[in-house]
Structures are given as C-alpha cells and as structure tokens.
Amino acid sequence: MQEDFNYDAFTIPSPQRTRWYTRLWSACRGCGCLCRKKQRFPLYLIGYDPVGRFQRAASVGDVALVERLINASEHHVNECDRRGRSPLHYASAHNHPNVVRLLSSNDCTDINMKNDEGCTPLIKAAQRDSIECISILLIHGADPNIVDDSGDAALHHAICRGNIPVVSKLLEYNVDIKAKTEHGLTPYKLALFQNQLEMVQFLIENGADAHSELTPYSGGAAAVESEQSTKKCANFHKGYTLIQKTEAIHLFLVVAICTIK
C-alpha cells in the first residue's frame, strides 16, 4: 500500500490532448493573423545587398575605403551593379551621410542616376527618412522633381511617410508642390488619402491651395479628372486590401487542415 502511494506521488499525470483550435491559435499567432501586426521589413531596402567591393564599402559607411577605391584606377565613382545601383545609391539607402558627402562632392558623380526601378539616390534617401543625406544631395544639385518608375518623386515618398522635415527641405529647393502621382493625386490629396493630418496642415501653410483642389471649378473638367483619379487610387487600395485578406484566409485554412491531420 505504501509502495503504491509513493508510486502515485512520483507519477506525473499525462497532459490531456488539446483541442484543434487551441493548437491552431499558437500556429496562427506566429503568422501574425491572430495577434498584433508584425513589423514588416522596409520595402526600400529589399534587394539592396551589395555585391561588389565598392558598393559594399558604401553600404557600410567605410569612408576611408570608399575614398581609396575612388582614387584607384580599377574603380569608377559611377560604377554600378547589374541593377543600375551606384555606390551613391547604396550610401543613401543605408543612411551614411559621410559617404554621400564624399561621393556627391566628386565632379564625375552622376547624382541623378537612376537604378532599375527608376529611383535616384535622393528618392532612396527620402525613403529612409535621412534628412542629412537629402540635404547633402540637394546642395550638390540633385533634382527633387525626378520620378521613379511608379510615378512618385521624393516629395511623394516623404508625404506618405509623414516626414515633415524632409518635405520642408524639399520645398526649400523649389520642388513642385502640385506634382501628381501616377494615380493623379497632388501632394495635398495624397496627404489626405494617407490620413496624414499634420502633413495636410503643413502643406496648406506652405502654398497648397486646398480650396481649388477640392472644389469643382472651370466648367467641371478638372473636378471630373480629380474625382476619377481619386476613385482609381481608392479602387487600387481596396483591391490590394482584398488580396491581403484572401491570402490571410487561405493561410488560416491551410494551417487548420495541417493541424487536424
């Protein structure tokens, strides 16, 4: 009797089998569909992994090595990889102002060079919120009105990110405050669409004419064009959101089936 008692005291009861939906909770939690949204990797840095020695030195901010490679005859300051990305692109994308200053001050540097996505170093700096790199590039003659293959200039990227200091710096260099995106949105309407209320107020204080952009005028032709472009952009975002929801539901069902099996 005593032996049975001691045996029961040292016996660990086996855990009960959990329900399938309980196990599914922990599985989906890792995918981010049943918990708070996970931080996504910055899209503007995807693929910006340098291959060549020159680009690698610029991406890590090694000023001494970049200067030595510039002076060497085997490398050129505008040397690009297979995707058209120069060392200045890498320095701007990875936020290294000292390397940007060194490369921009070189007379042979093409400061407005585009990569395979149509992005200039200034656009990459705007995507990174690097006000210091942007200031250096603008001082050395970077064109703030150049657009990428998506039809967005550095100003549009800064507005979407809600970066008022960057927008203020671009306005100092006569950026077009009425430049439209691919979907026909002006910076003011883009700020409204992105729900950037502080940016909206800032643009109004710096010359954006809210009344003329939102009120039909001159026979209604401009109003019709504005309404169509806004609807086009809204439909695009609705379609993208629908795709995301469909993918999430599909992933949920796949995990559920695998867990049941």
- In DSSP terms, which residues pair with 80 in a beta bridge? none
Is the four-CA dihedral 117, 123, 126, 128 of positive or negative sign? Answer: positive
CB atoms within 10 A of CB 249: 11
Q: What is residue 257's predicted lDDT score, i.e. its pLDDT?
A: 54
First to last CA, the chain: 43
Q: Quick one: DSSP state of residue 72?
A: S
Which architecture characterizes domain 45-143 according to CATH?
Answer: Alpha Horseshoe (1.25)
Domain ranges of the chain: 45-143, 177-261
Angle between helix 164-172 and 197-205 (nearest 10): 20
Give the global pTM. 0.67
Q: What is residue 72's predicted lDDT score, i.e. its pLDDT?
A: 84
On whether the CB atoms of residues 162 and 198 are closer than 8 A, the answer is: yes
Label residues 182-214 b or e (16+ Cβ within 10 Å = b): bbbbbbbbbbbbbebeebbebbeeeebeeeebe
Backbone angles phi, psi at 199, to 5 degrees: -65, -40
Q: What is residue 51's predicted lDDT score, i.e. its pLDDT?
A: 74
Q: What is residue 39's predicted lDDT score, i.e. its pLDDT?
A: 46
- Average pLDDT across each block of 10 residues of the chain; the chain has 261 residues. List them in order: 49 52 51 47 60 88 92 86 91 94 93 94 93 96 94 94 94 91 90 89 85 55 47 48 50 52 52
Contacts of 102 (CB under 8 A, 6+ apart): 63, 66, 67, 70
Residue written as token pair 């979407």: 160
Contacts of 251 (CB under 8 A, 6+ apart): 31, 33
Contacts of 31 (CB under 8 A, 6+ apart): 251, 255
Q: What is residue 236's predicted lDDT score, i.e. its pLDDT?
A: 45
Distance CA 2, CA 78 (A): 86
Residue of 84, 173, 163 whose CA lies nearest to 126: 163
Q: What is residue 224's predicted lDDT score, i.e. its pLDDT?
A: 43
